[in-house]
Chain A
Amino acid sequence: MANKHIVIDPITRIEGHLRIEAVIDENNTIINAYSSSTLFRGIETILKGRDPRDAGLLAMRICGVCTGTHYQRSIEAAEDAFDITIPKNARIVRNLIQGSLFLHDHLVHFYQLHALDFVDVVSALTADPKKTAIEAEKWAKVAGVNPYIDGAGQFKEIRDRIAKFVKQGRLGIFGNGYWGNKHYKFTPEQNLIGVAHYLQALDIQREMARMQAIFGGKNPHPQSIVVGGVTCVKDIEDPSRIGLFKSLLKENTKFIKEAYLPDIYMAGTRYADEATDSNATFTELMEGKGKGGTGGGLLNYMAYGGFRLDDTGFYNSELLFPSGVVYNGDLSKVEDMDPDKIAEDVTHAWYDADKPQHPYEGTTIPKYTGLEKKADGIAYLKTGGKYSWIKSPIYNDTRIEVGPLARMVVGVAKGDKRITKYVTNFLKRGNFPTSILFSTIGRTAARAVETELMADVMMEWVDELAKNTASGDLSTWTEFDFDKVSIKTKGRGMEEAPRGALGHWMKIEKGKIENYQAVVPSTWNAAPRDYKDRMGAYEAALIGTKVANPEQPLEIIRTIHSFDPCIACAVHVVDTKGKELGVYKIDTQCSI
């Protein structure tokens, strides 16, 4: 039997427009994979010429899912350029706004975007509610908590509700799923737990979004951050606002600890075999052979670092997530991250350039070469040449993965006490080997571990904020003389977004943005091959994966979802005044 070429477009349950093509051999093992983004908007060109103080609001519209994170990076790039250190209150409020985003984003990712790769909704119908309650208790116990849903009654109610829904042929958003695929490994009872939490998470995520809105004004797209600080002075001094934030945080933390984490232990245990199957890894270009399992991929991890814990200013502060680079999954070694070693290559992206370029010196000369329409009606990627609107970022001439897993790996390698405690606790309770981290399920688990850590630390931050305002400090903004500081300068906002390392670079001249670029987490992860033909993180992670049924590429979707793709973020910019398909030059450097 010959190799099969699979095209999946659209990849759903993500932000943005993504296509994956994969080649599987006669044993249904993936031997090649290609990741392509199919949309752009041109936000960076749009930012050019605007006032740097207004850029954050527009840059935020890069993404409505990781909402607020581009807003902060853009504002920070301006603050870095103007050498502004924001007041303590502003720093804590920003941490709380971004922390709420982490909780919200990670939870929605796991339940609404990712869970259906593990949870077979149809199978849940045959679950026994009593057994389900016992099963739920079992995993809660592993996590050291009481189960969120206590008792069979609620499980029965949810099962019956879903049964009614499923009975009638058409399933709405659950329609045409890969139900019944044998790589759904949960028992009916475990599936019912998943479905029940899926439904509850819809409610919980609204409460998490409210947390962001208390200090942000609204969610999606908050509006209280300005260059120099924050505007919500009235909200931070109001004890009832602090009180509401705390009570929401408490309620949401309960769900994280009693539903999300136990579900991750359940999934981790169920999928442990393939997560540690070293035959299913991407080894052809790896030195650290055999370390990871299904979905492991590159095993090179980077974090820019994020969440400032003191007021010493940019790139001096102690950070909740330390910055660093780990190669080949080797936790015994960690390098410092050097922003100068970041470069972008366009060999396989729809742009023209002769060598990889640092974001500050980068050019973008679009060169759209289109798709190849074949007799079967499918337009295929021209994978020998250019095939995506996403550029290929490289760090120190290596391909890199970023995200929650990278943050946990770098944190542990750096000996960060808090991160090491949460990661060790997770592995110990689940009785997992460390190597389980280097897999699809490991990526998903790292996100959950990070969510718990974030929920706990946020409680400390709210108290810190309340204490500070109670002491009489109501300062929320640092004054600066815009006309003076904006004559000619540049700055960068490099921090951690929910999906990983995010950088905005801004050059300013005579009070206006002269150049703007962003290299975002999904640029790192979703990128195509580079000039040495080395795969990007998504592509590498798919290699070696066994597909149960090529007509239902469940395993591909699961691994891609484990990265939490955010493609609107990742796509570069083009100026289309040339109109026609083909090559046209623009004078901007780009990135969105």
Chain B
Amino acid sequence: MADKIEGVKKLFTSKSARVETNKGDAYYADLFEMCQTRIEELKTQEPIHNRLDIEDVLESQGVDRRDFMKWASAVTGMLMLPASFTPLVADATLLMNRAPVIWLELSDCAGNSEALLRADGPKVDEIVLDIISLEYQETLMAASGFQAEKQLDDAIEHFKDKYLLFVEGAIPLGINGNFGTIGASGETMHDQLMRVSKHAAAVVAVGSCATFGGVPAASPNPTDAVGVMDLVKGKPLINIPACPANPANMVGVILHYILTGQVPELDSLLRPKFAFGYRIHDNCERRAHFDAGEYVEEWGDDAAKNNFCLYKMGCKGPMTFNNCSIVRYNEGVNWPIGVGHGCIGCSEPDFWDKYAYERPMADANIKAPTGGVEKTVDEFGLGLLTAAGIGIGIHAAVSIVAGKKEDGGEA
């Protein structure tokens, strides 16, 4: 129990995820020049097997230049770049047809594949058909069996050291990896990942299972599941956690790669800072109620009808780094806190054991992260909460986990 609380404290007070939103003119001038050079260079390359000209596609979809630039400007903001980068982001979007993608599904629920289907911005059919070259994706691809395996082998060969590898799902290591096999030869998921990642330009772990082990790795981790970062070494690796990952962040990572040829700036958990640099809490629409001490006390009560803060109902927004409160979901139509349920911390490691319960973690005695404009407010808000000593705190949840560990050891 004690180490769990320590762990939570450490994570919550970690500076690593803080983002410097303004790095100074010199930095951006250099970056701009670098991106410009890269884009000019990409322009001279042929699209991968003659992918369509995206400008044509946008036009045929009734997206005019002005709408497109508006979208590019929003994405520039999301990537935390100055507005002057907007034309470059637009150019990079038009050059996305230079990026081959292989997508593996391991110990997963296909939730991230489904999330990809919800991508807006460049509409998903454009992503699939025109923008990126999706070479292998089991949920969507036409071929099965030997033909599917051949498709994968061909893609690895054809785009050796050039493809982006997206991985969805954890990797079970128990019984020598035999909890998950793929293909006629019965190759384990572990072996498939190692084989396919070997010649990837970069590896992107999508969703909480691929990043930190997620559901299968939740206590007592019956299949000894791990995330990609535990296995793949010596490659640029980007984690896009959340359950499932927000498709806006998947598109953001691909765009950033096109734009700069590099992985975006990452925090200590390898998450891109443009998406995971702030906590849900920092930009929450209910934040004012937190600061004012106005809380929902019971589902559906008068406070709930007034959109009060959900902290006492177990919201983990103050502990969770993600951009849900800005980007929201499904073309911005809503998000978990919007529908009156707290955040469950799904972009954090071990969130099933640390955060995903409907009670607050008041007596964890957590201090606010230091630095940034939110500092004062954070300290005030959290101080208030810990002092209040609300209800069943973290000890209840932690004891479940501690108890489970013992169970697991006996079995």
Asked if A and B bind, the verdict is yes
Q: How far, in Å, is B157 (CB) from chain A's closest CB?
A: 12
- Is A377 on the interface with B (CB-CB < 8 A)? yes
Within 8 A of B (CB), among A42-79: 42-43, 45-46, 48-51, 53-54, 57-58, 61-65, 67
Contact with B along A159-173 (1 / 0, CB 8 A): 001001101111011
B11 sits at the interface (CB 8 A): no
B179 touches A39 (CB 8 A): yes
**Given A13-B140, A38-B182, A217-B329, also A226-B341 (CB < 8 A):** yes
Contact between A168 and B50 (Cβ–Cβ < 8 Å)? yes
B105: chain A residues at CB < 8 Å are: 17
Also in contact, A161 and B356, with CB within 8 A (given A10-B138, A574-B222): no
Contact B60 A378 (CB under 8 A): no
> Could you tell me if A53 and B358 are in contact, using CB atoms closer than 8 angstroms?
yes
A221→B179 CA distance, assembly (Å): 25
Q: Would you list which residues of chain A between 227 and 244 have a CB under 8 Å from chain B?
A: 228-229, 231-235, 237, 244
Known A13-B144, A173-B134; contact A576-B222, beta-carbon cutoff 8 A: yes
- Establish whether residues A9 and B341, one from each chain, have CB atoms under 8 Å apart when the complex forms: no
Would you list which residues of chain B between 17 and 46 have a CB under 8 Å from chain A? Answer: none
- When chains A and B are docked, how far (Å) is the Cα of A205 from the Cα of B298? 34
- A586 to B, closest residue via Cβ: B411
Looking at the assembled complex, report how far the CB atom of B3 sits from the nearest CB atom of chain A, in whole angstroms. Answer: 18
Contact of B218 among A46, A173, A574 (CB under 8 A): A46
Q: Does A210 contact B (CB under 8 A)?
A: yes
Interface class of chain A by DSSP: loop
For residue A573, which residues in chain B have a CB less than 8 angstroms away from its CB?
Answer: 222
Interface string of B243-256 (1 = CB under 8 A from A): 11000000000000
Contact of A576 among B114, B158, B175 (CB under 8 A): B175
What is the minimal beta-carbon distance from B218 to any residue of chain A, in angstroms?
Answer: 5
Contact A42 B143 (CB under 8 A): no
Q: Which A residues are CB-close (under 8 A) to B108?
A: 64, 568
The answer to whether B340 touches A232, judged by C-beta atoms less than 8 angstroms apart, is yes
Interface residues of B in 105-157 (CB under 8 A from A): 105, 107-115, 117-118, 120, 123-125, 128-130, 133-135, 137-151, 154
Which of A14, A57, A228 counts the most chain B CB atoms within 10 A?
A57
- A253 adjacent to chain B (CB < 8 Å): no
- B330 in complex: contacting residue of A112, A174, A218, A580, CB < 8 Å: A218
Instruction: Enumerate chain A residues within 8 angstroms of B305, measured Cβ to Cβ.
Output: 233-234, 237, 474
A444 at the interface (CB under 8 A from B): no
Residue A575 lies at the interface, judged by CB distance under 8 Å to chain B: yes
- Which residues of chain A in 164-202 are interfacial with respect to chain B, using CB atoms and an 8 Å cutoff? 164-165, 167-170, 172-178, 199, 202
Pairwise interchain contact A479-B145, C-beta atoms closer than 8 A: no
A320, B292: Cα distance in complex, Å: 45
Task: Known contacts A39-B180, A233-B305, A576-B175; decide if A206 and B49 are in contact (CB<8 Å).
Answer: no
Bound-complex Cα distance A213 to B298 (A) = 22
B371 at the interface (CB under 8 A from A): no
CA distance A8 to B336 in the complex (A): 40
Interface size on A, residues (CB 8 A): 110
Task: Assess the A378–B184 pair: CB atoms within 8 A.
Answer: yes
Contact with B along A466-506 (1 / 0, CB 8 A): 00000000111101000000000000000000000000000
Answer yes or no: A7 CB below 8 A from chain B CBs.
Answer: yes
B334 adjacent to A48 (CB under 8 Å) = no
B330 to A178, Cβ gap below 8 A? no
Most buried by A among B128, B134, B300: B300
B358-401 vs A, CB cutoff 8 Å, 1 = contact: the mask equals: 10000000000000000000000000000000000000110010
17 contacts between A and B (CB under 8 A): A10-B138, A40-B223, A41-B107, A51-B357, A51-B358, A51-B396, A53-B357, A63-B111, A64-B113, A164-B50, A172-B135, A202-B125, A220-B118, A223-B341, A224-B339, A232-B339, A568-B109
A residues near B (Cβ < 8 Å) are 7-17, 38-43, 45-46, 48-51, 53-54, 57-58, 61-65, 67, 108, 112-113, 116, 121, 157, 161, 164-165, 167-170, 172-178, 199, 202-203, 205-206, 209-210, 212-224, 226, 228-229, 231-235, 237, 244, 368, 370-371, 373, 377-379, 474-477, 479, 512, 552-553, 557, 568, 573-577, 579-581, 586-587
CB-based closest 3 A-B pairs: A64-B111, A42-B222, A177-B142
